[in-house]
Amino acid sequence: MAGASTPADPRRPEPDTAGGSGAPAEKQHFRPDIQGLRAVAVGLVVADHVFGWPAGGFIGVDVFFVISGFLITSLLVRERSRTGRISFRAFYARRARRLLPAALVALAATTVAAYLVFLGGRFRETVTDVVWAALFGANINFARQGTDYFEGTAAPSLVQHFWSLSVEEQFYLVWPALILLAFTFSGRGGRRRGAHAAPSRRSPALALWLLLGTVTAASFAWSVHATGASPVTAYFSTFTRAWELGVGALVAISVSRLQRLPSPLRALLAWAGLAVVAGAAFVIDDGTPFPGTAASLPVLGAALLLAWGGAPGGPGTRWALGSAPAGFLGAISYSLYLWHWPVLIIAGALLTPGSTVFYAVAVGVALAAATVSYYCIEQPVLHTNWLLPHRPVDPARARPVFVRAGAVGLVAAGVAAMTVVAVVVAPWGQGGNARADAARAAAQADEAALDAGGPPLTPLQQDIRAATLATEWPADLDPSLEELPAYGDEVWPAGCLVVDEKGLDECGFGDQDAERTAVVLGDSYGAAWVPALASGLVPRGWYVQALTMAGCGNVTAPTLLYGKPFTDCTEHREWAIERVLDTRPDLVVLSNAWTADFVDDSTDRATLYRDGLTEVVRRVQASGARIVILAGPPGSANLQECPTGINGPDDCLEGPVKSFATEVATEREVAAATGALAIDPEQWFCIDGLCPTFVAGTAVYTDGRHITVEYGERIGPEVVAAFGLP
């Protein structure tokens, strides 16, 4: 394979290393098992992103980290041992040749696609993210965004996957210097400078082990700590991921000694490594605190494979990691990683996610784009002397590469044209979609019922009906599509995200001396109801006080946050209930969505929810207040994701979220058992099971389920009227 033994690309086959003595062998040879391991890694990532299975497929990135540390360290140590020096300029030139061309083309294509497909602020957000990615700072950017609670429901960035490339490149800013420092400390650099030079007693392998091992251990310790203290930042941080590359590096400098084990044992350990990697993808999921200690599973598996994957009888054979399909997938793994995510997001915007066509397009286009990128960008660049002007180019070897690139490019152009016709043009001739047809049929039924003397729709229902029939986005949408990406803080008034004793006034509305007081308990969805409740109650002489906390519902069963017990929620809920009992308000509104994961995963969720909510209701009833259980909003399409330059509101017409009906039914059971009032809010958002994303020019949700302040204020009086207050 062309370029298979050329150093520097962590997702391309590399020469084997020696390393027991710190002086790798001069001979370089192709490792098909590493190529196959790349295939496994990228396959896990793509399968997880596209199909959601296996749930822990994201650990493929950790496998890539270990491979990268192994290969790059091997090359740097080999260069030092062979030449007596490490050329930083040549190292970074090789990195740029390998990574930049394909990455920059993918980023440019993603930007163009975002411009053509997305509307408003999402395109501008994409441009910002692309700039961060191009500067290898994507992980910093996304860690910063991850501190915002609403980023969990915001539209995903088209270049979110670039965070791992940023981690690697930041790592390599210091890694060559560390290796050089270790050699300097050992007093040996490989070739002696004079025939009579005194030999050093310090082993470079020992120096490398001490220095790199210390860095690796420190990074692992920090990863364990940070994963518990700040999970979002820890996930993207170079400091919490460096140990994974460090493990690969330690294998690289030890690999020759590791080969002294008996061949059958080496093969067995390699197979065990493959099993550990595969098993980790099923044992770990998005609820597992990560990276922390959990990342040690895929890291250990990858390390075992790198150490002994080439052993006779091991997984590097032709019918396993060394097979032709694995070799091809491994070869295009870098480009496939670059392209699969933006293709997936764009496909989700243009097609119905979860449909057969969606899966076929997402996987097929990603593979095609990766193949084109590999043959038309990666390989041709490697057969030039770009950034390495003194490197000779062999025309006899380069010519077939460029001929192949031209042929692949021509085929790709034809496939791209057919894909555009199939995905973009053809749907326009299909006469709309099923939900839009249902909206038109329901409107006709309403007219027939009215003609027959039936009750007319309310003004709000008329506006909702009109919105279900809309085919164009309103020019005066409020808040606008441009404002929505940064609108999270406006979903509730300032201070309602986490209300505590010191922040009571920040989330209180009306006259504190009012004769009647209403208190709102719940999570962020409950907090998003506050503007609606205030608009309906304050004009009637009420004071409205929120005691809400994001992610903390009105259920006593312990819940999880980032895979760990959410103890802050338990403490906050106890404080809020005690405050209700102390202040004895006239009305208590309990509202939350059914999104939390419970610590007890052996009991039916509906049972945990029903029993936990019942306990909360009975406790606050001791205050003497009227209790209203107001269900979370039914939800609809996400206005930050669905609108594109080639669709209309009818393409974003959806029904309530899947859990909504169960939430409402369970809350009615609780109300029947406790004497509370349960309110189903669907009537203020949907009609005939169809829920538009805007009503009368007002955006309903900021992200698909959190109500905008504007819409909440619009429906507030009707919501309060349903409480039956005197």
pLDDT, tens only, 553-587: 999 999 988 778 899 999 999 999 999 999 999 99
State the pLDDT confidence band at 595, using cuts at 50, 70 and 90: confident
| CATH H-level, domain 484-721: superfamily | SGNH hydrolase (3.40.50.1110)
Let me know: does 495 contact 673? Beta carbons within 8 Å.
Answer: no
> How far is 588 from 570, CA to CA, in rounded Å?
19
Sign of the torsion formed by the C-alpha atoms of 64, 66, 67 and 72: positive
Q: Compute the average pLDDT of residues 234-258.
A: 96
- Tell whether the model's pLDDT for residue 551 goes beyond 60: yes
What does the domain layout of the chain look like in residue ranges? 32-107+120-190+202-322, 484-721
> Whole-angstrom Cα distance, residue 197 to residue 203?
16
Q: Between residues 281 and 596, which one has the greater pLDDT?
A: 281
Structure pTM? 0.83
pLDDT tens, position by position, 50-71: 999 999 999 999 999 999 999 9
Rama region for 122: left / alpha / beta (φ>0; ψ in -120 to 50; rest): alpha
Pairing status of strand 698-699 against strand 694-695: antiparallel
Is the pLDDT score of 405 beyond 70? no
Provide the 10 A C-beta neighbour count for residue 204. Answer: 26
Average pLDDT of the segment spanning 510-533: 95
Q: What is the DSSP string of 616-670?
A: HHHHHHTTT-EEEEEPPP-----TTTS-BTT--GGGG-B---TTHHHHHHHHHHH
Do 673 and 614 meet the contact criterion of CB atoms below 8 Å apart? yes
For residue 647, the number of C-alpha atoms closer than 13 Å in the C-beta half-sphere is: 25
For residue 553, CA distances in Å to 596, 669, 676 come to 8, 17, 17
| C-alpha to C-alpha distance for 269 and 315, rounded to whole angstroms | 10
Distances (CA, A) of 455 to 66, 139, 446, 461, 641: 68, 56, 10, 12, 37
What is the b/e burial string over 59-81, where b = at least 16 CB atoms within 10 angstroms of the residue's CB?
bbbbbbbbbbbbbbbbbbbbbbb
CB 137 within 8 A of CB 169: no
Whether 412 has a pLDDT exceeding 70, the answer reads no
Distance CA 324, CA 140 (A): 38
